Amino acid sequence: MWTNNTQEQLIEGVLRHGPDILSKCLADPNDLTQYLERLEFEHLHYPTPKQTIDITNWNIPYEYKTMDILDWLYQRCPTPEIRERVVEELRLFAKYDMISVLKAMKYVVDTLRANNVVWGVGRGSSVASYVLHIIGVHKIDSIKYNIPIEEFFKEKQNG
């Protein structure tokens, strides 16, 4: 369940959920055990607020903010299989309001390339996204290795 690092857990809990969770979890603010037990429950059930992504405030060049990233991606789909996968992923990126993140990622990758900066070949669930592979965020071909996009866009677990 919990390790004996209660101070670290307390800090992590407050950082992850904000100080308002203290009042939600504690009847007695001096009882860290009660807090940690309640936090474990709240961590599983605490609602994550929906945040709107406002790319207009991002410090990326105008041409990236206004580019048609969807068209740019479609142009890099040489086969119907790849096009179908890209369309499926783009629906999910749109569902989670992340199309502008793709524009920012393209800018980051282009900047790294232009400055001869080396970055990793891929890490974690991002390698399940073929769209991120096209942009150049990672070098793992998720179609070739049959990695389902659901590994990247994991739905909230019930239970």
**pLDDT by residue (tens digit) across 129-143?**
999 999 999 999 999
What's the mean pLDDT when you consider all of the chain? 78
Same domain for 133 and 76: yes
Mean pLDDT of 41-51: 55
Residues 84-98 as b/e (b if ≥16 CB within 10 A, e otherwise) read ebbeebbeebeeeeb
pLDDT digits (tens, 9 = 90+) for 53-111: 666 778 899 999 999 999 999 999 999 999 999 999 999 999 888 899 999 999 999 99
Q: Cα angle vertex 108, ends 106, 112, to 5°? A: 115
With beta carbons less than 8 A apart as the criterion, state whether 105 and 132 touch.
Answer: yes
Radius of gyration of the chain (CA): 20
Same domain for 41 and 61: no
Give, to the nearest 10 degrees, the angle between helix 99-114 and helix 80-95. Answer: 120
Residue 142 within any structural domain of the chain: yes
- Cβ neighbourhood burial of 134 (10 Å; 0-12, 13-18, 19+): buried
With beta carbons less than 8 A apart as the criterion, state whether 138 and 127 touch.
Answer: yes
Give, to the nearest 10 degrees, the angle between helix 32-45 and helix 6-17. Answer: 40
Find the domain containing 25 and state its range. Answer: 6-45
Total number of domains constituting the chain: 2
Same domain for 135 and 69: yes
Same domain for 126 and 76: yes
User: pTM of the prediction?
Assistant: 0.64
Residue 52 within any structural domain of the chain: no
Same domain for 139 and 77: yes
Mean pLDDT of 101-128: 92
Same domain for 62 and 37: no
